[in-house]
Structure 1
Amino acid sequence: INHTRVTEFIMQGLFDHPHHQGLFFGLFLCLYTAVVMGNSLIIAAIVLHPPLHTPMYFFIANLAIVDIFCTSSVLPKMMKNLMQEKKTISFDGCMAQLFAFTLSGGTELVLLTAMSYDRYVAICHPLRYVNLMTKRICISLAVGVWSVSITNSLVHTLLMLRLDFCGPKLIQHFFCEIPPLLALSCSSIYFNEIMIFIANTFLAMGNFLLTTVSYSFIIITILKIQSFKGKQRAFSTCSSHLLVVTLFYSSIIYTYIRPTSSDSLAKDKMAAIMYTLVIPTMNPLIYTLRNKEVKVAFGKIFSFRKK
């Protein structure tokens, strides 16, 4: 049967109240600016301040890049649609957004696992830390993180490109994500579902288990420390990362693992706002509020700009 191929999709959007669109545009613009500026400052501080040239901050810089990329893949188009009566996105634009969002999500997932391993080595094997987390090993871990994520995103996108979309073309979301797009396909999605299952099993569950194992050893090691100050010092080295991991996995689990209900769509949208905008906004704050070295680096950057 010959199908008329869809050349553009219509977005349902985030809100159903047109008279609030301008207000939300201003709010999201401020938050998007905060994401870009906050994470860019983190990257600049780590690059320009030599005391921050350590494995932990190397991975934090990668996380900041991922946060900017994740938010930029979704927010600009969403804000544009907020100010338009007809919220559309071209087929090619949708596939590009799907690739970018899947890439950023997968990268953050694997990157948080690499950061968990870094904290595990720092707390459980402090005397061997310099040898186990050399510059070469850190770069290899980062290359592995990005390679796995790019491969995963590319496979999902190519499998999506092979599908037929012949209508309806209303995406039940405010950006192009795999589940709402599969719901619109008029051809078999069998291979797509297999790939989703594989990705969920090895990429999502695998990284979750590795992160859990790392923190189990970290907690056991901290509990064995005799002095209270020693325990406090050890916990402070991983508290920021643990908070970021908790926020990220909480939003992912809430979105993809909870049972469906009549208001699942609205909950999906709120959860998506959480991991595409709120978490990238909070990450720079989490890593800087209690970190003296980063504050010193920020001070040097701003003092240099004043000169």
Structure 2
Amino acid sequence: MPRGKRIGAPARRAAVSLLLVAGCASVGGTSREPGRSELDPQTTAAVVARVPESCRAEVAAALTTGEEMAGSCAVMRDRAAREALARRRLRVFGMVERTTVRLASVALVVSQAYLCRRWPLRNAGESALEIGPARAAGCTVRRYRGPLTISVREANGAALPVMTARSDDDGYIEVMFADIDSLLRARGRGGLMTFTELQVGRDGWAVRVKLPELQAQLAEWHATWIEQGRGSPGLFAALHPQDGAAGQMRVRALEATIQRQAADAAAVDRGELSARRFLERHVWSPYRSLVEQKDGRSSP
């Protein structure tokens, strides 16, 4: 799951405008959304054909993935990257300065790289282009203010556009998981966690959140909160039914329910709670028959 430094000044979230647009409708106004640093196969094949045979496989792999790779063909790779930029009209690349995955959202500071001297490649193992590689490619960098396509990916690999969001003047954007979940359910597509990946940016240039990993992380955080007395075991079991701790949480939820019922039954005995109110509050309870006797009722 992508992680990074936490983003300060949470009050800036109020400045973020989420435009709930069905599908991938364009947003009127300013910037066109940038793209990722992978090269299409046709352009890759054309530039790699001019590379010495000993370096073709290495250079082709770097350009196809859009990622720097360690090897002995760095000079050939950089030469091919310059030629690729000359062949393609796409000269604006999306890049990410900071990413924070939270319990309810993913927040980013995004920028764009343009006027590059060669095609910028991501650092090895990174999912997004960062400022270092963009500078190394001779790009001019500035914060990106404009639309970002939010999509989800299905198990078969198909991407489904869900909404369009917009970063603010500082390049800040926060995407709430609940917003995506609600839009998907409204379309009859099930909740967010029925998909495999959440993508922010066209083709996921800003971040790609692996949803099974996110689900596991959310369950871990929720369980920690419960251990600290700040969460509901019953809600945990409902939200994470497949988690290994779900059975234990159901037992804890039942125990907590019985404790509340015992306390209410004692309140009935003390005259602090009416029997009728107890019966309305607890549809099922091991104390119900005793309380019904006080209320003049009998169990069916």
> Normalising by structure 1, what TM-score?
0.25
> Normalising by structure 2, what TM-score?
0.25
Higher RCO (Cα < 8 Å, 6 or more apart): 1
Larger radius of gyration: 2
If each structure's helix is expressed as a fraction of its own residues, which one has the higher value? Answer: 1
